[in-house]
Amino acid sequence: MSVVVQEPASASDFSVQPKLDATATGQDGLRYHSAELGARAAGKPQPIRVSYKKTDARTSAEILQPKAPGLTPAPAAGSGDEVFILAVSLLVGIGMAVLWWRGRAKTSGAQASGAGACTKCGTPRAPDDRFCSKCGARLK
Q: What is the pLDDT of residues 14-71, one digit of tens each?
A: 999 988 888 898 888 889 999 888 888 888 888 889 999 998 888 888 888 876 555 5
In a domain, 67, yes or no: yes
Cβ(140)–Cβ(120) below 8 Å: no
Please determine, for residue 105, whether its predicted confidence score (pLDDT) is greater than 90. no
CA distance 57 to 6: 17
In a domain, 125, yes or no: no
Please determine, for residue 126, whether its predicted confidence score (pLDDT) is greater than 60. yes
Which range marks the domain in which residue 49 is found?
2-78
In a domain, 9, yes or no: yes
In a domain, 129, yes or no: no
Residue 140: pLDDT band by 50, 70, 90 thresholds?
confident
In a domain, 135, yes or no: no
Please determine, for residue 82, whether its predicted confidence score (pLDDT) is greater than 90. no
Cβ(77)–Cβ(35) below 8 Å: no
In a domain, 31, yes or no: yes
**Average of pLDDT values for 65-82?**
60
In a domain, 114, yes or no: no
Number of domains comprising the chain = 1
Percent of residues, the chain, with pLDDT higher than 70: 82
In a domain, 46, yes or no: yes
CA distance 26 to 78: 9
What pLDDT is stored for residue 74 in this prediction?
A: 52
Q: Could you report how far apart the first and last alpha carbons of the chain are, in Å?
A: 75
Q: 3-class SS at 11?
A: strand
Please determine, for residue 100, whether its predicted confidence score (pLDDT) is greater than 90. no
